[in-house]
Every structure is written in C-alpha cells, then in structure tokens.
Structure 1
Amino acid sequence: MFFHKILVTGCGGDIGLAVGRILLDEKAADSVIGCDIQEDHAGKVFFDRCFVIERATAPNYIDTLLRLVEEEGVDLVIPTSEPELRTLCTNDFFGRRELFLTANQKAMEIGFDKYRTAELLQKNGLPHPWTQIAADGRPQEFPCILKSRTGCGSKDVCILTEEQYHRQKDYGEDDIFQELIAEDDAEYTCGVFRSSSGEVRSIILRRKLRGGLTGSGIVEVNPEIERLLNAVAMYLDLQGCINVQLRMRAGVPYVFEINPRFSSTVRFRHKLGFSDVIWSIQDRSRNIVDRYQAPVAGRRFYKIYEDVID
C-alpha cells in the first residue's frame, strides 16, 4: 500500500481504465477513485467511486479538480487524459506538482510539441523523419504526413499527396509536414521508464494498429532501438514514463513521436512485466523500485473487448 486515496482522471477512457485496474490489482492505495467529463462509462464497474468534472479546456477546470482532491482527501492524482496533462503543464501544475504523477515537465513540453520533438532529435543526432512547419512552404517530398503539431492521437494525421497539397493551399500554424516512412508491419511502440536515480528501463513492442490504437503486437529485443530509447531518456532528463513511437527503415529506427504520458498499451506492458505505473509510484514514494525481468522476445499480446455489467 503506497497511498491513502489515488484519483485517476479520464477514468472512462482506455488509458484511465487500464491504469485504474492496475492500481486496484496491485492494491496501490486504500481507495482508487476516478473522474471523467461524463457519467456513463465502464469506469463505474472498476473504480471505488467515479465523479464528473469539467473538461480540461473549461475555465473552471482547475478549481473543480482541486476541489474534488480536497473533498475526497486525495493524496495522489494520475492524469491520463492528454488535454488535462497539457493544461497541467501550461499552468505549472497549479503550484501542486507533488500531487500529480506525471513525467517531468521538460519531457511534457517537448513531447506535446511534435516540431520541438523533431528539433530535439535533430540537435542530438538521433534518427528521425524530416519535419517542417506547414506554413513555411512546400514539403520536401510527396507523399508525406500531414499532422497537427500539438494534436493527440491519430485522428489529425493523414497521408498528403502533391495533388492534395495544391488543392488545400492554406495550412494553419499548427500544421506540420513529416516524412512518410513506409514499411509494412514495422511500427513500434516503446515504453521508457527512468527513475530518479537515473536507471532506464524499456520495452519494445512491434505492433499492429486497429482503429488507430494498438490491436496486437509482439515483444522484440533490438539493441539499436534500446540505445536510441536510452538516449531519448537522457536528452529529456526524463523522470517518470513516456511512450516512444518509431518506424524502422533499412534497419535504422526513426522516432516520429514521443508521448509524455502512460500509453494505451500500459496494461499490456504491465502483464508482460513492464510495470511502469507501479514503478513510478514507488519512485515517487521513495520506495525501492521493483526489479525488472524483461520479457523474452516473441511474446505476443492481443487487444480484446470485454463485456462488463454495472
């Protein structure tokens, strides 16, 4: 038992549900509660109690969240919604950084900005796809990726042809072009944890997408990718956990995104022994972090849908 009461935000989403179930299974607190922007979701089945709060973009979001913390006697908040994490970061964690379990601020500031991510990788000589601000002019080549510089998820990502580029013409300040690294069946999602003592742990999962999320995958062991992940953690001064997405081309791993939060694969990883949620809590509590026995290459995992009754 680490805490009296832990609050998981975004508890109706896939990441929030996964984090909450890990906490409950591992008995990480006397009570695990959740909050979300709506009442009707599966979180009610798993969390001890669920609450409704304002959206992260609402003017009174900060007040409603901190009021819930005070009223419920919460001693740790785990934000799982990216809009909430962005609000936390922008508002300097509301002056209560010790309350929130997140990656460090540098990792969030860079990871939440895809152009700054590319700049960090380029500055430190790490392989990455070329990336440019769309408003600066024509992409270096076609086809390429058009995505939001600050957006989250895959909903704002598309493959752009030269014909489509000329047809659209106007691109906003938040649009970026990125090199398309097209390799069949070679996209990776990688968990990276770095403790306050500087120990780095990682897991490499070659995945297949389904509906924009990881639907299945296989554990791989790749020294080149592992060295790259260690370098990313070092240059971010990482403390906590991030998710690095990359693609392989001619045996070289190219990082195209860094997500400074727990991943939708967090429960997969926990079941495989990469317990980044629990390690982060242990490290925050200044407890000894459990040992990590890396899973063997070839272990497979599959996302399935589960029916639950309230």
Structure 2
Amino acid sequence: MEEKTVLVTGIGGNVGQGVLRNIRDINWPIHIIGTNVEAFSAGNHLCDKTFMVPYAYDNDYIDFVKKIVEEEHVDLIIPTTDFEVYYLSLNANSINATIVACDASITNVYLDKYLSYKHHTSLNIPFVQSWLPSEFEGFEGDIIVKPRKGRGSRGITINPEDPKSYSDDYMIQPLHKGKEITTAIYIDKNKSLHGIFSMERQLQNGATNKCKTVNTFDNKLKEDIIFKMIDQEGIRGSLNLQYIVDNNQNIHLFEVNCRISGTNSIRHNLGFQDVKYILQEYLYQEKPSKVTKKEGVAIRLLYDVIYPDASTTSDLNNKSSNFKIY
C-alpha cells in the first residue's frame, strides 16, 4: 500500500483525537499531520508532525493551510470542526489536496441551526420548530435558548424569563424530553447511504459521556429524514444527526453536523468505521468496507499524556516526543 499524507484538523478536541486514534488503529502507511489553534495540545502525541494555525474564520487561515499542504505534500484533509469544514469546503478549489466535506452551500446551512431549520422546512424534512428571539411570540411549554452557531451545550438557557431579550445570534426551540440519540451516517461517492449507526447518550459538559447502541428508530429516521437529505446535491462523507425521541416514539431532530462526530472512536470499535471509509474512498480510491455493527456500551474517561523531564512545551509536537499515557 502506497504511503500517503493526511492532515487532520482540530486535534485539540475530542473529534480530532478520535480520528487520529482511528487512523493509528488501522495501521496503514499514513503520515499524519495535525493542526490546532494551540501549539501544544492533547493530540500532538498521535501525529508525525503538528502545526499551529489561526481560527478557521480568520483571514489568514486558508493561507496557512495552503502552505502546510504544499510543504508537507498533503494528499487528504479531514476537517473535524464545524467552521473548518465550512471554510475549507468554501476554498476547496484553491487547495491542492482532497478535502472530505460536503459542498460549501450545505456546510453553511448546517453551521447555523436556525438556517438548518429553515432549510429542512423548505424541503419538507422534519426539524424541530425554531424561532429567532425577535420573532418569538410565546410557546405553551418549556423552551430552550441556544446560540445558532454554538457547539455542545455552551451558552444554552432553559426557560429564560425574557426570551425576546436575546439577540438574533440565538434561537429558541421547544424543549423536547426523552431519549437523546446521536446517529452517524456515511454517504459514499455514489451518493448512497453506506451505513447508519445510532447511540443513546448521556452528556457531560456538552459532549457524550455514556452511550449505548440502539437501532429501534433507524428505519423511521431513514425514511423520514436521511433519504430526503441525501436527495440534496453536495452531501457526502460522514454526517451526524442529533435528536430526541419522546415517550410517543416521535423523532425531534434538532441538529445536523456536517462532519465526523465526537463518538467516532467508539463507533470504530463497534463496527461502523467512518474514518476508515473516508480513507478508503478518498485516499486510496477503494470501495468502503462493509459495515459490521455490534451492540455495545461505552463510557468516556479522563487520562493523561505525561512528558517526563520536559521543562517546556515548545518541542512536544509529535509522536517522537518522550511521553507516557497514564
């Protein structure tokens, strides 16, 4: 197998670190370049080389990426943060590497939860009712206010005293209660649904802490939502859907992420290996492996990357550094 170079963005976050671990686990001859907004991050020890880059929305971001691509002969870029997915997709024609992302028009819509609602409504695809604070006229029931472009559970408020006091950088939705489920889907190059993998989850600090596999709602999700989404032009690769299933078995979709999700490392070990599918299709031009899902339960834990005898972090930027996992 020919040696290739893959750039993984956002290696300071759980999504990027999961992608790195999955690539290492596959054990193919892949040289890994990692990027992050900080020079020293938790993903450094999994990379062959790392670079600090600006935030994706900064004017210099694309130029930084282009320089890395040219100097390191990068073949493939896997973006792992929402903003990087959008800006890399928007500038894909000027970057000399394959970028695994949906079209910019799609990533822009799903970068903004209110635009996601408007988009789905226009296509008759279910999505939770949403309002801007300026247009909100009240709702008989619990509500949640959240940033339109926020991630995780940052900045949310439940049942605020004055919902209309928020700017239109926020949005309002009914607070549906029930099972929270995260579903990953992989759409192959032929625009076909290659696989689906769902997990009921519990959150801690906005990210999955505990989860278990569930497939009870997959068929309904495919018929009502996923196949309609795939009918759009420009959707490809791994996407993530987040929704609540209430006591009446109704699905309330409230977020779509146009990227690999943070549970990718768990899925990888339970037979849904979307990072591997990406490498097969976009790096080696092969058909993705068959999905072989297993049932399972997972819990996240905290561990340490320790660099004995290090007095500065300036040189701790790749897997060659002396470190211990504990």
**TM-score past 0.5 threshold:** yes
Distance 1:181 1:235, change over 3 A: farther
Cα deviation, 1:85-114, whole Å, max 9, x if unaligned, reads: 23224x443533852122343431221121
Cα deviation, 1:118-139, whole Å, max 9, x if unaligned, reads: 1233334443321112222333
| SS, match of residue 131 in structure 1 | coil
Q: Is residue 198 from structure 1 mapped to residue 194 from structure 2 by the alignment?
A: no
- Cα shift at 1:261: 0.7
- Cα shift at 1:291: 0.8
1:72-91 map, 5 Å:
72-89=72-89, 91=90
**Distance in 2 between residues matched to 1:174 and 1:306, nearest whole Å:** 36
1:204-215 map, 5 Å:
204-215=198-209
Partner of 1:116: 115
Cα deviation, 1:27-52, whole Å, max 9, x if unaligned, reads: 34431121111122222211112121
Contact 2:69–2:97 (CA under 8 A) maintained in structure 1:
no
Q: Which amino acid aligns with 2:184?
A: G
Give me the TM-score of the superposition, normalised by structure 2.
0.85
Partner of 1:225: 221
Contact 1:10–1:16 (CA under 8 A) maintained in structure 2:
yes
**Distance in 2 between residues matched to 1:264 and 1:94, nearest whole Å:** 27
- Cα shift at 1:145: 1.4
Cα deviation, 1:232-255, whole Å, max 9, x if unaligned, reads: 542444211100000012111111
| SS, match of residue 269 in structure 1 | helix
Q: Is residue 171 from structure 1 mapped to residue 169 from structure 2 by the alignment?
A: no
**Distance in 2 between residues matched to 1:188 and 1:171, nearest whole Å:** 28
Partner of 2:63: 63
Distance 1:66 1:97, change over 3 A: closer
**Distance in 2 between residues matched to 1:138 and 1:217, nearest whole Å:** 36
Distance 1:289 1:254, change over 3 A: same
**Distance in 2 between residues matched to 1:107 and 1:252, nearest whole Å:** 26
Distance 1:234 1:57, change over 3 A: closer
1:137-286 map, 5 Å:
137-161=136-160, 163-165=161-163, 169-183=164-178, 186-200=179-193, 201-222=195-216, 223-237=219-233, 238-249=235-246, 250-284=248-282, 285-286=284-285
**Distance in 1 between residues matched to 2:125 and 2:56, nearest whole Å:** 33
Contact 2:10–2:37 (CA under 8 A) maintained in structure 1:
yes
**Alignment RMSD:** 2.1
Partner of 1:47: 47
In structure 2, stretches of 5+ residues that fail to align are 307-322
Distance 1:228 1:304, change over 3 A: farther
Cα deviation, 1:197-245, whole Å, max 9, x if unaligned, reads: 2331101111111121101111111232343453254244421110000
Distance 1:274 1:164, change over 3 A: same
- Cα shift at 1:143: 2.5
| SS, match of residue 305 in structure 2 | coil
**Distance in 2 between residues matched to 1:233 and 1:270, nearest whole Å:** 24
Aligned residues: 301
Percent identical across equivalent pairs? 26
Distance 1:234 1:58, change over 3 A: closer
Give me the TM-score of the superposition, normalised by structure 1.
0.89
Contact 1:101–1:281 (CA under 8 A) maintained in structure 2:
no
